[in-house]
Structure 1
């Protein structure tokens, strides 16, 4: 009988049938397999990435999947000491919801991973033989956006046009903003989003939520579309990365005053 892999744990076909018929709960299978690993003197570490993808999924009419899952994780870590659990999300605002809606508060440590700061980027690029004016350009347009920095360095090594990578990143960011806003059907809400984007640009890509907070729906929209991320340590909104800042600026520069029936952004 072949086993089936469901990312974190392995189930047999028979167990799958019982799960589908609700004869057993997934937590029972998870618990049994964790205990099997412990019997083999193995440390159990469970990692779940993009936790926010579980948002809105219900086990039944009342129980949300992520709530039950996290409460289970609290039990196996803090109460039973069977495992360690690492939860990763690109939506830090969702983390605050989790702390409020589950037993996670007081039972977990929050670690905020940001992009590289300018000093780190400067030292990194200097070691890789970038000229001062090139470093200044990259700091301005890219900042500490790790992935793009790596691509730039690889292009530089091959004597290829690395500046085009930056231009492409800005253009793609602009397109993402325009597409997201154009999909908003409610004209008044669309205008609120545009005002929020302008506010972010005027504040150099940041917004302190303690002073002049955005409308909650606008906040959710910007975060869910990965235009901004939430820094829960400092209660700030920040534009995802530096190319996005310039992408938003370009998108806003194309904004034209229109009637309610027309698009807020051009196609």
Structure 2
């Protein structure tokens, strides 16, 4: 079995200036798995658009299976947070039910972000407990970082501001959205179709959005990103 993580790092690399390295690798993988039956190949990527390239390739789509690795659901997340000693070998403190609910609300099931918060809470432990204000301070810091990322990306571009505002409005009422939900931006001449697609692609690559190549739906990259975008939009209401 061959396992390759983040294969998209090899994009835009050519052999002898002509043959694309990734295409040659994919041809090799198909030969190894479907023609010679020598092994299985597992490719993982956090870039949904890269996986979409595989999905849209007629040869690869017919010889591949796709699996989405998403964040933890609410039940699993709350079980983890209420059983820190068992699930994370963490004995320094326990969380209250309200603190677990707070983490779920603002971090969702993002395992890396939650694990980071849990580690950062260690210096704040007092008698095996965590103060609510200390937890909220760390969560707000994570949200502020995402707000700052939005601010830097949008800059003075009114088109990007309109796009972020539209995405936020869509995500307030739905778990995910599709490209057609943004057609007002094209009708109002804020974007050309190809420019909008390129913008969405860039937002996926920069981890503002996630993209499911099977359903072609987008969503903001986790709850902390949603609240970061929310704070960014609300702080700029006077300009939009």
Q: TM-score range by the shorter chain?
A: 0.7 to 0.9
TM-score normalised to structure 1 length? 0.69
State the partner residue of 2:178: 209
> In 2, distance between residues paired with 1:208 and 1:228?
11
Task: Decide which of 136, 139, 162 is 1:195's aligned counterpart.
Answer: 162
- Measured at CA, do residues 257 and 54 of structure 1 come closer, stay the same or move farther in structure 2, by a change above 3 Å? farther
Q: CA deviation at 1:113?
A: 0.3
State how far apart, in whole Å, the 2-side matches of 1:68 and 1:248 are: 40
Aligned to 2:19: 63
Matches within 5 A, 1:116-135: 116-128=72-84, 129-135=94-100
TM-score (structure 2 length as normaliser) = 0.76
Give the direction of change, closer, same or farther, for the CA distance of 1:132–1:96 in structure 2 (3 Å limit): same
SS of match in other structure, 1:212: helix
CA distance in 2, matches of 1:251, 1:59: 44
Deviation string 1:158-190 (CA, Å, 9 cap, x unpaired) is: 6164433322211221222222233xxxx7xx3
User: Unpaired segments of 5 or more residues in structure 1?
Assistant: 1-44, 259-263
Q: CA deviation at 1:61?
A: 5.2
Q: What's the CA shift for 1:110?
A: 0.6
Residues 1:165 and 2:134 aligned together: no
Q: Give the count of matched residue pairs.
A: 209
2:54 is the counterpart of 1:98? yes
Q: How does 1:8-87 map to 2 (within 5 A)?
A: 45-60=1-16, 62-87=18-43
Shift of 1:151: 2.8
RMSD of aligned Cα (Å) = 2.6
Larger Rg: 1
Does the CA contact (< 8 Å) of 1:200 and 1:207 recur in 2? no
Deviations 1:81-108, CA, capped at 9 Å, x for gaps: 2222111111112211223246211111
Aligned to 1:179: 152
Tell me if 1:136 matches 2:101: yes
Higher relative contact order (CA 8 A, sep 6+): 2
